[in-house]
């Protein structure tokens, strides 16, 4: 007996991971991607940080499981996917620290090596933090930096190895969500497709896809965020962990002999390939001066921007649509797509196949 026909709309991290888990379980999977290449938006514009220390316990659980999944994806690549650098989350006394302290016991149970460090201990690992404005640092030695491009390619290879089809340059123009008596229909330039289930994994375009399928939008909003890269710096040790100042919302990590940094800006933006705003370098400089005084006057060589998409409560949207019963969501991953993709795919595939209910905190109808 053949498996259900599932169309996944969007070939980024969420779509590729969902397709892989569905195909492994025997579903007949077609992935539609509007662009000529897969994974060219948020999937390719991220900082590649494997971060599991997240203040929201629900997101932290998915992140930890997703981090383990990155290693499972080694089945479809010969390239190491993670540089286990560890991470330091710097905090001053205040709400940010209290939120991290609240989730630390759960993180410790999931990854027993997580612990708090004094400023001098953090500075021993990253000397430029000696004059940093923080009172404590959450050390997660199992975090690291992912080869995002190769991890994504491994997910796609795995999905294809289990029979999933990837159709590039195919945009969903319209359709019908179907119901209990008829399949869903997706209208594309190549003709209509029928499906027993549709997974919306369109990133910044997820609500656009939903509307074209006559499904209610969920209020998924894309936000622009910038990344900045320096040239080589003699003071940078490539083995440093990535460092995130949670109160000031700015981070850096070693990259290509220098540093990759972000001021964690968040500006609502229409779905597109967003241009970089030159003025964002000034925001970065101001935040670095406060959080990392040892890094002032960095020579920024390149800047770019990407989109991160959220619903208002900043939790993921995973599982069956509350009205359109043949439609499922794998969206609203914010900046956690790299870390969480594997587990997101597993959760959504379980919802589609009816083998495991998704966590209620991610329900599209919440």
pLDDT at res. 109: 86
285: tokens are 């400089």
Cα 205 to the chain's mean position, in Å? 15
pTM above 0.75, yes or no: yes
User: Which alpha helices (H) appear in the chain, and where do they start and end?
Assistant: 13-24, 57-72, 95-110, 119-125, 148-161, 206-212, 280-291, 337-353
Q: How far apart are CA 288 and CA 261, in angstroms?
A: 9
Q: Phi, psi at residue 90, to the nearest 5°?
A: -85, 135
Work out the pLDDT band at 78, boundaries 50, 70, 90: very high
Lowest pLDDT segment from 39-43, 233-237, 311-315 = 39-43
Q: What is the pLDDT of residues 132-189, one digit of tens each?
A: 989 999 999 999 999 999 999 999 999 999 999 999 999 999 999 999 999 999 999 9
Q: What's the confidence (pLDDT) of residue 58?
A: 96
CATH assignment of 87-141+222-307, among 3.30.9.10, 3.30.390.50, 3.30.300.30, 3.90.1720.10: 3.30.9.10
pLDDT, residue 42, reads 79
Q: How many CB atoms lie within 10 A of CB 189?
A: 10
Q: Say which residues have a Cβ less than 8 Å from residue 161's Cβ, sequence separation at least 6.
A: 76
Residue of 211, 218, 217 lying closest to 174 (CA atoms): 211
pLDDT at 224: 98
| Average pLDDT of the chain to the nearest whole number | 96
pLDDT surpassing 80 at residue 258:
yes
CATH superfamily name and code, 5-45+149-220+313-362: FAD/NAD(P)-binding domain (3.50.50.60)
Which DSSP string do the residues of 275-317 spell out, in sequence order?
A: PPPTTHHHHHHHHHHHH-GGGTT--EEEEEEEEEEE-TT---E
pLDDT tens sequence across 292-340: 999 999 999 999 999 999 999 999 999 999 999 999 999 999 999 999 9
pLDDT of residue 45: 85
Q: Where are the domains of the chain?
A: 5-45+149-220+313-362, 87-141+222-307
């Amino acid at each position: 007996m053949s498996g259900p026909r599932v169309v996944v709309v969007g070939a980024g991290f969420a779509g590729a991971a969902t397709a892989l888990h569905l195909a492994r379980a025997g579903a007949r999977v077609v992935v539609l991607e509007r662009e000529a290449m897969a994974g060219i938006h948020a999937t390719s514009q991220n900082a590649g940080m494997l971060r599991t220390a997240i203040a929201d316990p629900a997101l932290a659980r998915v992140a930890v499981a997703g981090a383990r999944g990155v290693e499972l994806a080694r089945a479809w690549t010969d390239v190491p996917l993670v540089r286990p650098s560890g991470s330091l989350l710097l905090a001053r006394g205040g709400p940010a620290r209290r939120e991290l302290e609240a989730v630390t016991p759960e993180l410790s149970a999931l990854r027993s090596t997580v612990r708090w460090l004094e400023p001098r201990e953090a500075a021993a690992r990253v000397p430029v933090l000696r004059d940093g404005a923080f009172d404590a640092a959450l050390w997660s030695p199992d975090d690291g930096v992912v080869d995002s491009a190769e991890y994504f390619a491994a997910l796609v290879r795995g999905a294809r190895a289990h029979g999933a089809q990837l159709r590039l340059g195919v945009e969903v123009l319209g359709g019908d969500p179907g119901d209990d008596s008829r399949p869903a229909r997706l209208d594309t330039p190549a003709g209509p497709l029928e499906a027993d289930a549709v997974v919306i994994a369109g990133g910044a375009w997820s609500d656009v896809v939903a509307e074209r399928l006559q499904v209610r939008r969920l209020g998924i909003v894309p936000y622009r965020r910038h990344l900045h890269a320096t040239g080589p710096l003699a003071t940078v040790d490539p083995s440093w962990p990535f460092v995130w100042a949670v109160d000031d919302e700015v981070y850096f990590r070693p990259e290509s002999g220098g540093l990759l940094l972000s001021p964690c800006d968040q500006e609502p933006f229409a779905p597109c390939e967003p241009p970089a705003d030159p003025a964002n370098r000034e925001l970065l400089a101001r935040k670095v001066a406060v959080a990392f005084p040892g890094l002032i006057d960095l020579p920024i060589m390149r800047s770019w921007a990407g989109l991160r998409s959220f619903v208002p409560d900043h939790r993921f949207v995973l599982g069956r649509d509350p009205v359109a019963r043949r439609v499922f969501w794998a969206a609203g991953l914010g900046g956690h797509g790299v870390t969480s993709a594997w587990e997101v795919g597993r959760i959504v595939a379980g919802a589609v196949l009816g083998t495991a209910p998704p966590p209620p905190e991610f329900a599209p109808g919440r």
